[in-house]
Structure 1
Amino acid sequence: MVQGNREIDAAHLVNTTWGEHLARLDQDPRATHEPVGHLKEFDLLKHFPALRDDLDPSALFPRGSVVSHQAWIGPAHARTGLHHDLLDNVALTLRGRKRFYLLPPGSVEAAQLVSRKFDRWARLSVLGVDALAQRLEAQGLAAPQVVDLGPGDALYVPRGWWHEVVNLEASVLLSGFFGSRRRTWGLWLQTGALQLAHNAGLWRRGHCTCHSRATGPG
């Protein structure tokens, strides 16, 4: 489980149990004064294959695509910082409401605000969407687009589109990252080599979204 905004702040990963995390979903982190815990990139369909009897998102993807399903499960106010993914994505909300802030490709690059922090499958911004929106407004540029999703709503986010996502209430979202076989396997090899170098301490050591000193349950 991730606490806080690992895209901007230092990654803080916390060990927990499935039951403990679910028990916190309907708690307001502001009332408990605890850091917001967000279960990210969780393979929901692998761990609970019976869900496939009621949930078949295959029709959302082009035929022949390589698809990786990952779930984001968190309470109200859980947040994923501003970033863009290297693969196309269809985000399907299963429970709760989420808000997407969207900026077109090149927005963060033009402002020279792309982070050097390592993430295998995404590129990150050094600023959150609120701070970036203020800069864009000062320069007379377009504000981020805002899309709210409720249960059963799906949003296609093309690769390269910058987005930041916040839970308006406790939410479960299933993302399907997809691409052609050629593109997906090419990225898998390229990013895998960087991940190996990073794990060995040769590439952006200590500056990533994937490592922290994990703590115990709770």
Structure 2
Amino acid sequence: MQPIQELRDLTPGRVPAGLTEAAQPVVLRGLVSHWPVVHAALTSDEAVADYLHGCWRGAPVAIMTGPPEIDGRIFYNDDLTGMNFGRADAPLPALLTELLRCRSDERPPCYYVGSTTLEDCLPGFRAHNDLDLAALAGDAGSAPDALASLWLGNRSRIAPHYDLPDNMACVAAGRRRFTLFPPEQLPNLYVGPIDFTPAGQPVSLVDLKHPDLERFPRFAQALQHAQVAELGPGDALYIPSMWWHQVEALEPFNLLINYWWRQSPAHMDPPVLTLMMALLSLRELPEPQRRAWQGLFDHYVFHAGAETAAHIPEHARHALAPLTPQGASNLRSHLIHRLQQRQD
């Protein structure tokens, strides 16, 4: 493994220009060091809990809970028929109290709140704890409309997974270790089911804390390409779209705020839907037919250019025209109609 590239001496709160162009992970030391919640974290866990309590307006939070035996690993059960954790809704103050209470336990239960929208959980939090994303403005000329989420709990390990959006992960309290793998390491990560997952995204079945290289021998190659960094309060990490990442919370009390944004129009559908449709319609075809369809995908998708439909009059290109909100709606309706016909 190698360290993730770092940038230091940044202007707090301002994402540097050109960050996303190389599509490589970057640690941004001190990027959110100006946040009041970070100042609270540098005082004590109790100060962070008080700060969060002051922002809370009564909405319950969804908590993943697991027994001490899972050692913080949010994952499947032993035979992959279910999960090794349960789910419950609770008031945020009750969770904060429990996190503070069990800090000194040698083997505490695992408590993990993940991907909880800040505006729902802590309205007003971003008024004093936020990032200036203007430097990420693309062709539209405006900052991306980022979704900000909260991740709170004690020691936890989230298995390597990818996200479609770009991600800015900001450590507000505690410490977190990030281990990243480039997208091309997928064959070496031994990923589990794509439609039955612990938290929505497919995950690697390898336990990075205790990798079983007899069962998962190619994972040794993945580790050679891994990048790792440990972040403390005020630090941030840019994780490009589709990079696999494990996130490990290292302290008895940890808080992370992340920002997700897409570098594609909102009218585009998630590509994983295409993958699932391909499993349904292409994977079991005879090999010569799969090769032919691979050529079609290369021609119309992966190697498409201005010449792909240049021989068709613009008014007659339909699905081959540049995708617009109306075109996306028309194509989606066409697909739904075809799928309904198949069901009938």
Normalising by structure 1, we get a TM-score of 0.72
Output the CA distance in 2 between the equivalents of 1:67 and 1:140: 30
Cα offset, 1:28, TM superposition = 4.6
Distance change (3 Å), C-alpha of 1:157 and 1:110? same
1:126 matches 2:205: yes
Structure 2: 5+ residue stretches without partners: 1-62, 67-72, 78-82, 277-344
**Structure 1: gaps (5+ residues):** 195-218
Matched residue, 2:249:
167
Change (3 A) 1:104 1:13: same
Supply the AA of the counterpart residue of 1:126: L
User: Following the alignment from structure 2 to structure 1, what is the Cα–Cα distance between the partners of residues 208 and 268?
Assistant: 30
SS of 2:133's equivalent in the other structure is helix
Residues 154-187 of structure 1, C-alpha deviations (whole Å, 9 max, x = no match): 10011121111111111110111111341x5423
Q: Is the 8 A contact 2:189 2:205 kept in 1?
A: no
- Structure 2 Cα separation of the partners of residues 100 and 128 of structure 1: 14
Identity over aligned pairs, percent: 25
The alignment status of 1:14 with 2:110, answered yes or no, reads no
Q: 1:56 to 1:133 in 2, by over 3 A?
A: farther
Q: Which has the higher strand share?
A: 1
Distance change (3 Å), C-alpha of 1:66 and 1:132: farther
Question: Alpha-carbon deviations, 1:14-66, whole Å to 9, x = none?
Answer: 23221121112234578264430101111224432222221122327622423
Tell me what 1:25 maps to: 99
Closer/same/farther in 2, CA of residues 122 and 141 from structure 1, 3 Å limit: closer
**Which residue does 1:114 correspond to in 2?**
191
Q: Would the alpha carbon gap of residues 133 and 66 (structure 1) be closer, same or farther in structure 2, given more than 3 Å must change? A: farther
| Structure 1 residues 57 and 6, CA gap change in structure 2 (3 angstroms) | same
Compute the TM-score of the two structures, normalised by the length of structure 2.
0.48
Structure 1 residue 123: Cα displacement: 3.0
1:68 corresponds to? 147
Give, in whole Å, the separation in 1 of the partners of 2:201 and 2:130.
Answer: 26
- In 2, the alpha carbon distance for the partners of 1:181 and 1:137 equals 32
On the 8 A contact 1:8/1:128 being kept in 2, the answer is: no
SS of match in other structure, 2:256 = strand
Contact 1:82 1:128 (C-alpha < 8 Å) held by counterparts: no
Matched with 1:42 is 116
Evaluate the alpha carbon distance shift between residue 97 and residue 140 of structure 1 in structure 2; reply closer, same or farther with a 3 A threshold. closer
- 2:177·2:250 contact (CA, 8 Å) conserved in 1? yes
Q: Do residues 186 (structure 1) and 268 (structure 2) align?
A: yes
> 2: CA distance between counterparts of 1:48 and 1:121?
23
Q: Which amino acid aligns with 2:259?
A: G
Q: Superposition RMSD on alpha carbons, in Å?
A: 3.1
Answer whether contact 1:81 1:128 (CA < 8 A) is retained. Answer: yes
Contact map agreement 1:94 1:173 (CA 8 A) in 2: yes
CA drift of 1:112 comes to 6.2
- Name the structure with the higher helix share: 2
When the two structures are aligned, how many residues end up with a matched partner? Answer: 189
Q: Does 2:185 match 1:103?
A: no
C-alpha change, 1:23 and 1:180, in structure 2 (3 Å) is: same
The residue aligned with 1:86 is: 164
Q: Residue 137 of structure 1 contacts residue 143 of structure 1 at CA under 8 Å; is this kept in 2?
A: no
Runs of 4+ in 1 over 6 A off after TM superposition: none
**What secondary structure, in the 3-state scheme, does the structure 2 residue paired with 1:85 have?**
coil
**Structure 2 vs 1, CA of residues 8 and 29 (structure 1 numbering), >3 Å: closer, same or farther?**
farther
Q: Per chain length, whose mean CA-contact separation is higher, i.e. which structure has more relative contact order (CA < 8 Å, sep 6+)?
A: 1
Separation in structure 2 between the aligned mates of residue 110 and residue 190 of structure 1, nearest angstrom: 17
